[in-house]
Amino acid sequence: MRLICETLEDVEFICEDSGKGKNYYIEGIFMQANVKNRNGRLYPKHILTKEAKRYEQNYIKQNRAFGELGHPEGPTVNLERVSQLITELKEDGNDFRGRAKIMDTPYGKIVKNLIDEGARLGVSSRGMGSLKPMGRNCSQVQDDFYLATAADIVADPSAPNAFVEGIMEGKEWVWQNGAVKEMDIEAYRKELDMKYERTQAREEKNAEIMADFMSKLEIL
Letter string b/e over residues 108-138, b meaning 16 or more CB atoms within 10 A of that residue's CB: bebbbebbeeeeebbbbbbbbbebeeeeeee
User: Rounded to an integer, what distance in angstroms lies between the CA atom of residue 131 and that of residue 206?
Assistant: 42
Pair type for strands 22-32 and 95-102: antiparallel
User: Rounded to an integer, what distance in angstroms lies between the CA atom of residue 2 and that of residue 80?
Assistant: 23
* Residue 124 falls in the annotated catalytic set: yes
Set 71, 83, 130, 158: catalytic member: 71
Nearest CA to 100 out of 111, 113, 84 is that of: 84
C-alpha triplet 112, 63, 52: angle, nearest 5°? 95
User: Rounded to an integer, what distance in angstroms lies between the CA atom of residue 150 and that of residue 56?
Assistant: 10
Set 83, 124, 158, 215: catalytic member: 124
By three-state DSSP, how is residue 28 classified?
Answer: strand
* Residue 71 falls in the annotated catalytic set: yes
Whole-Å CA distances, 58 to 51, 54, 55, 65, 69? 10, 6, 5, 8, 22
User: Rounded to an integer, what distance in angstroms lies between the CA atom of residue 123 and that of residue 78?
Assistant: 17
The number of residues in the chain equals 220
Catalytic residues: 71, 124
